[in-house]
């Protein structure tokens, strides 16, 4: 609410996600193409994989991941961060293409911060998961 008060701006519907989020599959392939078929024909062969673990216990959660970012045999960064705090009660782990992970982390962090400003409290873990699993159409 603080940002809205300073800017004298009122959102029409605070429950909607930002229109600036990428569309599902909107970055990967041209419109009308099946993403899997297109990438098999035209896309690069991506070599990726990582290990992330999270354990819930009585006093909280412990999350761990390996730190090496690589592409095949090439190690791009031996000390990358794959356990990333989103807000004070939520963290995420990443695996796969680093640029995609960073992009979605930033989008999620921004959208959750905007929701916190609108609603006056941090969004729930379920709300964050819903935002990632149901991108706007």
40 CB neighbour count, 10 Å cutoff: 10
User: Is 50 an annotated catalytic residue?
Assistant: yes
User: What would the DSSP string read from start to end of 62-125?
Assistant: EEEE---EEETTEEEETT---EEEEETTEEEE--S-HHHHHHHHHHHHHHHHHHHHHHSSPPPH
Which residues are CB-contacts of 26 (< 8 A; sequence separation ≥ 6)? none
For the chain, the first-to-last Cα distance in angstroms comes to 26
Please tell me which residue in 14, 41, 50, 94 is annotated as part of the active site: 50
Give the total residue count for the chain: 137
Residues that are catalytic: 50
């Amino acid at each position: 609410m603080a940002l809205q008060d300073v800017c004298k701006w009122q959102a029409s519907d605070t429950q909607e996600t930002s229109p600036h989020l990428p569309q599902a599959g909107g970055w990967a392939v041209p419109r009308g193409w099946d993403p899997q078929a297109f990438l098999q024909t035209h896309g690069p062969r991506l070599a990726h994989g990582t290990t992330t673990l999270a354990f819930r216990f009585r006093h909280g959660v412990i999350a761990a991941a390996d730190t090496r970012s690589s592409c095949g045999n090439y190690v791009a960064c031996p000390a990358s961060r794959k356990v990333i705090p989103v807000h004070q009660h939520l963290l995420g782990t990443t695996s796969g293409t680093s640029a995609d992970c960073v992009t979605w982390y930033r989008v999620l962090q921004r959208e959750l911060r905007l929701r916190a400003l609108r609603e006056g409290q941090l969004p729930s873990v379920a709300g964050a998961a819903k935002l990632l699993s149901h991108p706007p159409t």
